């Protein structure tokens, strides 16, 4: 070989190796992108098919986290849709009591409402029936989170969330179901702290709706909110027909609420075997914890499933926006964007916003 060809050969070999490494790295990056399985059709069979794709192998007792629906609200997930999946897996429905009064504020009433709403085909376990405990967590807001004692009875969780709006979080999906759903009343309280809304008296028509929906009687006859009584649930914001109540007194406190949700979600999933399904249907602006069901503002989107809660919520959010033809359909409804929860959740390692959508045929 001529002497002048040798350096060229070395350069060429170097380039080939570099290109090979780059291809391998890009393949790995591609493999690391979480998959979200999606079916436009919402049926028991499609939910089972989506779950099967996850390759999830429960260990120990399987807790199935759902929201049973508040009394008077029919927008919650129709229980019959989950019957085959949950009974087939021998799952146990798990929930925690509410911070405010009503049938879901104590274990007995909560379980009775679950049966009344059609969830009685599987056992119901209210995780804080025997009190609460803490999980250590080092975050920006917490050094521990408060959960129901009963969590320790379970080896795995399947978190099935109704993807819909929420007055103070913009929207609620898997992240919110983890955070508020596993948080005991003390946990719910610390997540909601600082979320006292503001009534704009110049817009208020004194219709009385906010006083009727407030679960803790925090709004007086002159339409002032008692900051000590308010638990920051956002129901008054959602139901005011004249948009006279601002959800978060400042952008920073609204974002802080979303960050707290993400931190709770991170804490309750750390070291646990958990997988997720979202049902994007009956999508109204209000949470299922509201005592009446506002009409959906967009048609049903479908069943989504993933092992990554952030990717799952991001995909659900994107598909709802696409269907509504808006960049942020929930902000349009509730005046607050929930996107910061996704950003923050990713930054603390709960999951990834980038996803690969695989449609089930």
Q: Which residues bind ligand SF4 (CB under 6 A)?
A: 197, 199, 204-210, 213-214, 216, 218-219, 223, 225, 230-236, 240, 242, 244-245
Block residue for tokens 């033809």: 325
Least Å distance, CB 331 to ligand SF4, is 19
Cα–Cα distance between 306 and 298 in angstroms, integer? 23
Question: Whose Cβ is closer to ligand SF4: residue 204's or residue 360's?
Answer: 204
Least Å distance, CB 69 to ligand SF4, is 18
Least Å distance, CB 197 to ligand SF4, is 5
Cα–Cα distance between 36 and 162 in angstroms, integer? 16
Give residues with Cβ within 8 angstroms of 286, minimum separation 6.
73, 75, 164, 165, 166, 167, 235, 238, 239, 293, 294
Least Å distance, CB 31 to ligand SF4, is 44
Question: Whose Cβ is closer to ligand SF4: residue 123's or residue 249's?
Answer: 249
Question: Whose Cβ is closer to ligand SF4: residue 78's or residue 165's?
Answer: 165
CA distances from 37 to 114, 219, 308, 316 (A): 28, 44, 11, 11
Q: How big is the chain by its Cα radius of gyration, in Å? A: 23
Contact 151/41 with Cβ under 8 angstroms? no
Question: Whose Cβ is closer to ligand SF4: residue 244's or residue 305's?
Answer: 244
Least Å distance, CB 264 to ligand SF4, is 19
Cα–Cα distance between 313 and 178 in angstroms, integer? 12
Least Å distance, CB 201 to ligand SF4, is 8
Question: Whose Cβ is closer to ligand SF4: residue 204's or residue 270's?
Answer: 204
Dihedrals phi, psi of 267, to nearest 5 degrees:
-65, -40
H, E, C per residue of 305-350: EECCHHHHHHHHHHHHHHHHCCCCHHHHHHCCCCHHHHHHHHHCCC
Least Å distance, CB 36 to ligand SF4, is 32
Question: Whose Cβ is closer to ligand SF4: residue 176's or residue 353's?
Answer: 176
Question: Whose Cβ is closer to ligand SF4: residue 160's or residue 199's?
Answer: 199
Cα–Cα distance between 208 and 18 in angstroms, integer? 69
């Amino acid at each position: 070989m001529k002497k002048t060809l040798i350096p060229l050969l070395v350069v060429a070999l170097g380039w080939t190796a570099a290109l090979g490494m780059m291809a391998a790295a890009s393949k790995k990056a591609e493999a690391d992108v979480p998959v979200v399985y999606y079916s436009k059709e919402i049926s028991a069979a499609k939910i089972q098919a989506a779950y099967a794709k996850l390759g999830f192998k429960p260990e120990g007792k399987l807790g199935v986290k759902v929201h049973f629906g508040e009394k008077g609200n029919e927008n919650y997930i129709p229980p019959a849709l989950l019957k085959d999946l949950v009974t087939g897996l021998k799952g146990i429905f798990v929930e925690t009591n509410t911070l405010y009064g009503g049938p879901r504020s104590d274990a007995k009433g909560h379980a009775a409402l679950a049966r009344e709403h059609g969830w009685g085909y599987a056992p119901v376990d209210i995780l804080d029936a025997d009190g609460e405990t803490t999980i250590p967590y080092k975050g920006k807001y917490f050094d521990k989170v408060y959960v129901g004692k009963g969590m320790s009875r379970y080896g795995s969780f399947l978190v099935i969330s109704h993807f819909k709006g929420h007055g103070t979080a913009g929207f609620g999906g898997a992240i919110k179901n983890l955070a508020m759903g596993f948080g005991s009343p003390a946990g719910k309280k610390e997540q909601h702290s600082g979320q006292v809304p503001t009534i704009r008296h110049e817009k208020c028509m004194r219709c009385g709706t906010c006083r009727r929906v407030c679960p803790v009687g925090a709004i007086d006859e002159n339409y002032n909110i008692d900051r000590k009584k308010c638990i920051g649930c956002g129901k008054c914001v959602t139901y005011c027909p004249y948009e006279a109540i601002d959800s978060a007194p400042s952008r920073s406190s609204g974002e802080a609420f979303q960050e707290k949700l993400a931190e709770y979600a991170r804490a309750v999933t750390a070291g646990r075997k958990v997988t997720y399904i979202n049902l994007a249907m009956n999508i109204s602006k209000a949470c299922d914890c509201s005592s009446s069901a506002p009409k959906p503002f967009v048609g049903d989107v479908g069943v989504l499933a993933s092992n990554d809660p952030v990717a799952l919520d991001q995909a659900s959010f994107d598909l709802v926006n696409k269907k509504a033809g808006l960049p942020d359909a929930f902000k349009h409804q509730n005046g607050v964007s929930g996107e910061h929860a996704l950003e923050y959740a990713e930054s603390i390692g709960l999951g990834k916003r980038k996803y690969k959508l695989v449609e089930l045929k």
